[in-house]
Amino acid sequence: MRLFSNVKRKKQFLFNLNVLFVWAGLLGLFCFFISHFDLDFSIVRARLSTLLGAEFTPDGDLQGVPLTLLVSVGAMAVAVLLGLLAALGKLSSNPIAYGLATFYNSFFRGIPLLAQVLLIYLGLPQLGPVPAAIPAGIAALALCYGAYLSEIFRSALLAIDSGQKEAAQALGMGRFVIFWNVTLPQAARIALAPTWAMFISLLKDSSLISIMGLWEVMFLAQSYGRSSYRYIEFLLTAAVIYWVLSILLEFIQSLLERKYSRG
């Protein structure tokens, strides 16, 4: 048994080593390709601390990576709530709840996210309220991703064996208690991986709120690139920042999957 375990561990090590070589080779090709550009990253080094959010704005607000993470986490939290409500609505036998959920899904999945951002930020002032940029950005991202998450949650809820609900009912549990203690914990495990993947996608799409004037990573990269006429350098830096954040989130996802896959 120990011999089999050692062989398996050795195969896994060799596999990971080969993957690392592939990554290194592809990264080397990318760097070789970029090296042929007329690039000067000295000006980027002077602005890197701002992009990473080590400094506040002149008004004392967040900027750069911290602002990107704030908007992304806030939008994801609201999107999870909206997605769960929409999923329950689509599973409901109530025609009003079902109609609201299906219309919400169709509307926000059928319109480009950029159009939604512009409609919320530029359209609401036509009706009276002038939304602040951060709440408007969070709302736009949450409404869009909530519609996509609803399908993930609906599939996860349908995957739970109905026999468990019937057994819980036989024990005298109410519908809410069954949902909260029996259905939801199991559905959460099923939905964990695709939900986290949506969070990574949302993090990258948060760059669209740069059109609202929020000083997040993409807004700063565009502003500095415009003022210095060094667009490529700042856009490459922003791309690397988003990539590193995505890798960190993927690592956290693997840890969560490993933890909740036990038992």
Output the tens digit of pLDDT for each of the chain's 263 residues: 566 667 778 888 899 899 999 999 999 998 888 888 888 888 898 899 999 988 888 888 889 999 999 999 999 999 999 999 999 999 999 999 999 999 999 999 999 999 999 998 888 888 777 678 899 999 999 999 999 999 999 999 998 887 777 787 777 777 788 888 888 888 989 999 999 999 999 999 999 999 988 899 999 999 999 998 889 999 999 999 999 999 999 999 988 888 876 65
The domain of 73 spans 41-260
In a domain, 166, yes or no: yes
Residue 34 lies in a domain: no
CATH code, domain carrying 194: 1.10.3720.10
Does residue 191 lie within any of the structural domains?
Answer: yes
Domain-located, residue 150: yes
At what angle are helices 231-260 and 42-51 packed, to 10 degrees?
A: 40
pLDDT at 203: 96
Q: Is residue 120 part of a domain?
A: yes
- Is residue 10 one of the residues assigned to a domain? no
Measured between alpha carbons, how far is residue 68 from residues 32, 72, 122, 163, 242 in Å? 30, 6, 21, 43, 10
| C-beta separation of 199 from 157 below 8 A | no
Q: Is there a domain that residue 20 lies in?
A: no
Domain membership of residue 118 (yes or no) is: yes
Residue 263: the pLDDT is 53
What's the confidence (pLDDT) of residue 180? 84
At residue 132, the 3 state secondary structure works out as: coil
Confirm if 120 and 135 have CB atoms less than 8 A apart: no
- Residue 78, judged by CB atoms within 10 A of its CB (0-12, 13-18, 19+), counts as middle
**In this structure, what is the dihedral angle of CA atoms 19, 238, 250, 68, given to the nearest 10 degrees?**
180
Element (H, E) at 131: none
Please tell me the total count of domains within the chain: 1
